Amino acid sequence: MATWIVQIGLITTAILLVMFGHIGDILSKNVVFLAGGIAFVVGSGITGFAPNFVIILFGRVIQAIGAAMIMANSMGIVTEYFPDAKRAEALAMISMFISVGSISGPGIGGFIISVASWRWIYLINIPLGALVLWLGFKFLPIPKESWAHVKEVTKGANWTGQNLFTVGIILFFLSGSFFQSGRGQLWIGLLFFVVGGGLTIYSFVQDDKSNMPWIAPEVLKNRGFMTSIFALMLVMLVNSISNILLPFYLQSYNGMSPFESGLVIMLQSVMMLITTPFAGVLADKINRQLMTVIGLVILMVSQVGYAFFPADLNMVKIIIPIVLNGMGMAIFLSPNNALTMGMVDKKLAGIAGSFNSFARTLGMTIGISFASSALFFQLPGVTQITPGLGHKFVQAFYNVFWIATAISAIALIVVLIRYINSRKEPVKKTTAKAAE
């Protein structure tokens, strides 16, 4: 039941991100953003007061719709309000608040459950959401939109492509559940993965050929933009692996309490919070492509560090890779986000930002499914990690992080090629001007 509560939110958000980015570009990013805030608050209220499991799921769907509307347009709004020279610093603030949420969320959630009902995990969003909405309505200009205009915009949209995308994402996300069920359901998981992935990819092809595509062709065919999106997806995939496997190592295998383990893992988010503002400023003043390369080098080193974790609790050897992981993520994310948003016209900032959020969500989801599946696939018959597994668990843990290192290396090669090409472009322009 708990898995479904999480899954239904992830799936709904992933399905609707691109659609709401497109609608934000056509209507108003501010309107869609604020409507998303209202939906999120309403969904939180429904979930918090839900009398049964079905209503909980319904509330989570409404909440996820609101989250998709917010996530799809937040980066686009920032892009419209800040010039390119300050964009990385501005987008760094978004990353910084995400880090604050990562740090405070688990702790606040645990505290709420210990002193009150689980319902307050959702009900607390109502006053917080109301505050955000008040600020939004006060500071964001809101154009008047008629219902007739909204219907006109959505009536001729490519709903065939959206439906293909929806089915593909549902199958793709559900494949992870089968992978995590053990070897017995591996083939079902592979079938869902292949069919879901195929439908998702085909939906983009179909959308590109439609009369009113959700994604503007100039976005999908923008090589620089898609490079940034691909690198982001790989980085989020890699980062999710440590988030899933570290509790197994610290709590299940080495006997740490959940509180102590949470403090250790929290160091990654703390390092992101500290490093992100500086990364944004440096990216605007130095070179964004170079910053992404540096960030990925550090991230890859951190994955190697995980692959050499001690079998016992040597805290120095444990903390260093976690700190490097957070630092590498911070140095990569803000510059890459600024590069992504700077490669498309401002009128397409909504779809660009929503695609960025989709890549982030997709990478996280794949990483979560892959991490646990890859670990338990190496431990046939094991359903729970215990100290008694000994070297078998440690070796399986190392193997997963060697794969994470390889994925980091692929992402590093991608951004390194981008950096090298960016160094060549000014030379080409100078040569062309000299020839004239």
Share the mean pLDDT of the chain: 86
3-state helix, strand, coil in the chain (%, to 5): 85, 0, 15
pLDDT at 427 over 60: no
Tokens of 292: 């992404």
Higher pLDDT, 99 or 289: 289
The phi, psi pair for 278, rounded to 5°, reads -65, -40
Higher pLDDT, 311 or 363: 363
At 430 the pLDDT is: 39
Do residues 197 and 208 make contact, with C-beta atoms less than 8 angstroms apart? Answer: no
Angle at 255 between CA 266 and CA 118, to 5 degrees: 55
pLDDT at 147 over 70: no
Please report, rounded to a whole number, the percentage of residues in the chain having pLDDT higher than 70: 92
Instruction: Quote the crossing angle between the two packed helices 159-179 and 349-377, to the nearest 10°.
Output: 20
pLDDT at 181 over 70: no
pLDDT at 84 over 80: no
**Rounded-to-integer distance, Cα 112 and Cα 114, Å:** 5
Tally Cβ neighbours within 10 Å of residue 426: 9
At 383 the pLDDT is: 78
**Rounded-to-integer distance, Cα 436 and Cα 426, Å:** 16
pLDDT in tens, 362-400: 888 888 888 888 888 888 888 788 888 889 999 999 999
pLDDT in tens, 11-20: 899 899 988 9
Do residues 64 and 13 make contact, with C-beta atoms less than 8 angstroms apart? Answer: yes
Average pLDDT over residues 172-198: 81
pTM: 0.83
pLDDT in tens, 98-132: 766 765 666 677 678 778 888 998 999 999 999 99
Higher pLDDT, 375 or 150: 375
Higher pLDDT, 95 or 406: 406
